[in-house]
Structure 1
């Protein structure tokens, strides 16, 4: 009995509704498609650029890392000992990026350029100084959380880890970059000379 009653209510509500006749499931409003603004076009071009500013860097959502948890990441093939040595500052710092008290958007712009330049100069061990707040949603911790999300997106990043207390603790992150082809070739050449 209730089914017939529900059907009658539904029919009464839908009485003068007509199926869409144009398009495939889209309402036709009579308006033409909007042309993208110059700013939108520039943003698209920047995102599609050389891959250095990958799309994920523009993502608005991030899982916040608790303020007292260290950052830690290593790609498959990177030994634990290498990652531990990185964390302890066992590799010389070849460059650093200071993002302390900088907004997330500014960091999102600076990070790809910094990493690209480091790779171009055959740097392997760099540091990012970002700070760390005591609250999970403090600006420094939000930035730190974004870095933990962004860094693995760069193929050049082999590992990263929060610094030891002597090097800035949880407010700084060591990053190990992949050896460039140029550096690999120089390594092979040195090894061949040693062998004779």
Structure 2
């Protein structure tokens, strides 16, 4: 019993300057805060969910890596070779561009669908995606370039894409030709009818 008294005295001596928490930070508040996500955590969750929605099902699973010095080239059935050749030569104006250089893959996966859909909605036809390129096949820039080739073919809006000329970024950039929207087609028909009189 006497030993217990000494322990209490020693404990009080060690805790001499310690003060109880104020009422605003009592134990109930701390446990409530631990059980409830903070505003920052909630925002990160919302952003993650939004990112998944904007990715439009684009996969970041396995991709065949495109060799670093191989140009990208794709065209849908029915697209004339002359259109692809003109695109390859930079014969269309840059109506919009998306810079993905040195950005993380998950961010690129989220940005690309929004860019393609917004460009299509604005009746743009020729856009440039700048992604970079590396001499190493498994370097991040080349991995992104490989995913870009995989992703672009999944968009109904994309008719063709090719690696750019040196003046537009070379193998580190890709020209994308979008199909005409219904509104643009209707405008073309109207202009043609007016010309015919």
After superposition, the C-alpha distances for 1:46-76 in whole angstroms (9 at most, x for unaligned) are 76x6xx6332x13321110000000000000
Aligned length: 153
1: CA distance, partners of 2:128 / 2:70 = 18
Larger radius of gyration: 2
Give the counterpart of 1:54 among 46, 52, 56.
56
After superposition, the C-alpha distances for 1:63-100 in whole angstroms (9 at most, x for unaligned) are 10000000000000001111011011101110000001
Match of 2:158 in 1: 157
2: CA distance, partners of 1:53 / 1:131 = 21
1: CA distance, partners of 2:94 / 2:167 = 13
1: CA distance, partners of 2:156 / 2:103 = 25
Task: Extract structure 1 runs of 4+ deviating beyond 3 A.
Answer: none
Say which SS state the counterpart of residue 175 (structure 1) adopts. strand
1: CA distance, partners of 2:60 / 2:104 = 15
After superposition, the C-alpha distances for 1:111-145 in whole angstroms (9 at most, x for unaligned) are 00001110110000000000000000011000000
- Segments of 5+ residues of structure 2 without an aligned counterpart are 1-41
**RMSD of Structure 2 on Structure 1 (CA):** 1.8
Answer whether contact 2:164 2:171 (CA < 8 A) is retained. yes
Say which SS state the counterpart of residue 149 (structure 2) adopts. helix
Task: Return the TM-score normalized by structure 2.
Answer: 0.73
Task: Return the TM-score normalized by structure 1.
Answer: 0.74
Match of 1:11 in 2: none
Match of 1:89 in 2: 90
Structure 1 residues 108-147: aligned runs within 5 Å: 108-147=109-148
1: CA distance, partners of 2:174 / 2:60 = 21
Say which SS state the counterpart of residue 153 (structure 1) adopts. coil
2: CA distance, partners of 1:98 / 1:120 = 19
2: CA distance, partners of 1:118 / 1:108 = 16
| Structure with greater proportional helix content | 2
